[in-house]
């Protein structure tokens, strides 16, 4: 989370859009900025399973980060035509990348909106999501702050997101039809990290007509990352609602 926010700050200074692709360790459930969560998860069971919690700066609902690729894009809020058009443009680029990898996927009609709730992100299909059939493969969320849009999201590789419901204290009736999609079911193989990165980058390059330059955080960015890390690891923020 902290790195994504640092990237958004850097875009505010430089105007240079950034794409980041990453994985999580240990596994973690990220909560939407405004979703209710306080007292709703079984903390002891989460600890026993080695699962952390963090609250995102972006909207949306809970995502289990394990066996997935997380992407983050930071871009000027008008560079791709405003929040909604940016959301659609990034999903079209991801869709192109997934199709290059061989995954048969599509984008849901963008006019369906969901309220923040404890219902996990991948359990319900919202407008603009990337799906395979009626099952969600990619879920994303956005923050618009001082001229910059940060959009990040999760592309499921394998597994079923079950900790997002199993760790809820409230009784949860699982329905097989709500099960998310995963890339390993859509392809004959599970791509390597390198293949995933190359496929997704190609999707962005083709759809948005951009060329990527690889970079790392500089010392100043690392300093800001440490500061933001303190915020995101503060239980007062994670369990604020």
Partner 1 sequence: MAEANVPKELLYTEEHEWVEKTGDDEIKVGITDYAQGELSDVVFVELPDVGASFSRMEAFGTIEAVKAVSELYSPAAGEVTEVNDKLADDPAAVNRDPYGDGWMIKLKLQDPSELDSLLSPEGYSELIAD
Which residues of the shown chain bind partner 1 in the complex (CB under 8 A)?
A: 32-34, 57-61, 82-84, 87, 110-111, 113-116, 126-128, 140-146
Shortest CB 240 distance to partner 1, Å: 10
Active site residue 121: yes
Residue 40 or 202 having the CB closest to partner 1 = 40
Q: Report d(CA 41, CA 37) in Å as an integer.
A: 7
Shortest CB 78 distance to partner 1, Å: 8
Q: Report d(CA 160, CA 123) in Å as an integer.
A: 10
Bridging pattern class, strands 28-31 and 52-55: parallel
78 token code pair: 């008008």
- b/e per residue, 109-130, with b = 16+ CB within 10 A? eeeeeeebebbbbbbebbebbb
Residue 9 or 201 having the CB closest to partner 1 = 9
Residue 76 or 110 having the CB closest to partner 1 = 110
| Residue 42 DSSP one-character state | -
Catalytic residue among 18, 121, 138, 156: 121
Shortest CB 45 distance to partner 1, Å: 27
Q: What positions carry a catalytic annotation?
A: 121
């Amino acid at each position: 989370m902290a790195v994504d926010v640092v990237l958004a700050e850097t875009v505010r200074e430089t105007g240079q859009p950034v794409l980041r692709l990453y994985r999580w360790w240990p596994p973690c459930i990220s909560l939407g900025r405004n979703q209710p969560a306080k007292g709703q998860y079984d903390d002891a069971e989460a600890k026993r399973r080695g699962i952390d919690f963090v609250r995102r700066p972006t909207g949306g609902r809970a995502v289990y980060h394990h066996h997935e690729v997380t992407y983050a894009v930071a871009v000027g809020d008008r560079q791709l035509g405003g929040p909604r058009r940016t959301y659609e443009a990034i999903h079209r680029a991801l869709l192109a990348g997934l199709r290059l990898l061989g995954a048969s996927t599509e984008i849901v009609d963008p006019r369906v909106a969901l309220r923040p709730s404890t219902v996990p992100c991948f359990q319900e299909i919202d407008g603009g999501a990337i799906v395979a059939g009626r099952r969600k493969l990619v879920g994303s969320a956005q923050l618009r702050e001082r001229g910059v849009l940060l959009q990040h999201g999760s592309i499921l590789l394998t597994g079923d997101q079950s900790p997002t419901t199993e760790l809820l204290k409230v009784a949860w009736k699982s329905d097989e039809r709500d099960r998310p999609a995963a890339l390993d079911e859509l392809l004959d193989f599970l791509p390597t990290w390198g293949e995933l990165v190359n496929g997704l980058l190609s999707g962005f390059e083709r759809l948005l007509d951009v060329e990527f330059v690889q970079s790392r955080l500089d010392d100043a960015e690392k300093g800001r990352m440490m500061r933001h890390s303190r915020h995101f690891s503060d239980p007062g923020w994670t369990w604020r609602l």
